[in-house]
Amino acid sequence: MSARMSLPPDWDDDERMNFLFSDFKENRDVNTSDWDGKMDFWSALVLKSCRHRGTVCVSLQELNDTFRRRERAPLGLPTVLQSLARCGKIQRESEFAANVDCGWLSWGVGLLLVKPLKWTFSTLLGSSREVPLEESFVVIELVKEKAAELLRVYRSSEFANSSILSFQELCALSADVCADESTLCMALLQLQRDKQVTVSLHEGEKIVKFCQPGQDRVSPVSDVDIGVYQLQRSEKLLGERVEKLGLEADKCKEEARTLLREGKKSQALRCLRGRKRVEKRADNLFAKLESIRGILDRIAQSQTDKMVMQAYQAGLCDTQDEVNQTISSVSGADEDVDELEEELKSLLDESKPDSISGFPEVPTGGLPPSGEPAVPYRHLDISAEQLEEELSQLTLTDSGCQQKKKTTSPVKSLEPAQ
């Protein structure tokens, strides 16, 4: 028994506990007072131990282990479980999940919970006292409490305006409410019974749709729901990519400063050109991000399902191709960053002292005009003069370098103050 759970005062009374640990009489009418007193004692303790452990399910084996005293387990616990089931206070997991819909079956939850029946319900309510040790029961009062708490957590979270969440997002959100995924699934099953959620599978991902304020019951997952969900996922991914590109731009700038300190002006210019490339990519992604945010804002301001549909269709009618390209190209951002990292790595290799010869390579092409670096420029919308001007703004000091900012962009706005 966990020391953290307060035990009843009778627990140290050997005479009293010998009675409570004994089996129930076959006939309650022999002594209804003793029978009812023992039943009330264990029923309350079963509920208390489940709440203490943060679970909504319990088995006879767990109860035997929990209430073991001086190497003895209570003999009357099977009768207690039968009585609680008869009163509707507990229910077998397999019966609790018997009404799973196709959404749950697509998750595989139905196959997990609806097990072959080891014994019939009539056996549970009949005279037989044999209760399988491993059979799991749902405590109805506790699962309703968990369901209500889960709904409160969702409605007070950052996801409250999103009707659909992925199961993984919900797991993270409910970590302080549900001790494990099994408890979360039981709470979701209760919310489904209450018409507050529905579950589905989209492109292999488990998703949960919540009933929104002002609605009596949750509606089935629609194509518009999926479209909005995809837009929200894209908004999140694009925001992360823009932030990552901002960090890469800072990295290019620092490399340019380092190379400039070492007198390697041409390589510093290449770093600045790499930075411009990253900024251009970030600007493009930021423009698409703003387009998606505009659509989501209009949807968020919609008050009815019909208005949501209209806002969704109106927002996409002229930009459907662009949004689709954004969704499909989000993963491409990582590829561009990877290419940039490879380029930076090559720059670092070039900046190391030549282990074979201290002389520079002989250029194969014509010599550049005096004062202009021999840098293999790529076709970007920036001239050598602009790069030279930016390079001239990098000043070397013992405490670091500072650069004057002339323009603002999604990347530049992410740079830390210097």
pLDDT single digits (tens) 347-363: 555 545 443 333 344 34
Model pTM greater than 0.85? no
Assess whether pLDDT exceeds 80 at residue 386.
Answer: no
For residues 71-96, give the mean pLDDT: 92
pLDDT of residue 215: 85
Q: Where are the alpha helices (H) located in 174-304, listed in sequence order? A: 181-193, 223-261, 265-300
- The first and second tokens of residue 50, run together, are 């489940």
What is the pLDDT confidence band of residue 295, given thresholds at 50, 70 and 90?
confident
pLDDT of residue 362: 39
* Highest mean pLDDT out of 242-256, 289-303, 327-341, 375-389: 242-256
Assess whether pLDDT exceeds 90 at residue 77.
Answer: yes
What is the pLDDT confidence band of residue 164, given thresholds at 50, 70 and 90?
very high
pLDDT of residue 265: 83
For residues 384-406, give the mean pLDDT: 55
pLDDT single digits (tens) 178-218: 988 889 989 999 999 999 999 888 888 889 999 988 888 99
pLDDT of residue 224: 82
> Please, is 327 exposed, middle or buried when counting C-beta atoms within 10 Å of its C-beta (0-12, 13-18, 19+)?
middle
Q: How far is CA 280 from CA 13, 16, 247, in A?
A: 78, 79, 14
CA distance 3 to 10: 16
CA distance 226 to 208: 11
Mean pLDDT of the chain: 76
Assess whether pLDDT exceeds 80 at residue 300.
Answer: no
* Highest mean pLDDT out of 129-133, 287-291, 320-324, 394-398: 287-291
For residues 224-229, give the mean pLDDT: 85
pLDDT single digits (tens) 229-279: 888 888 888 899 999 999 998 998 888 888 888 888 888 888 888 888 889
3-class state of residue 150 by DSSP: helix
Pick from 238, 228, 244: nearest CA to 337: 244
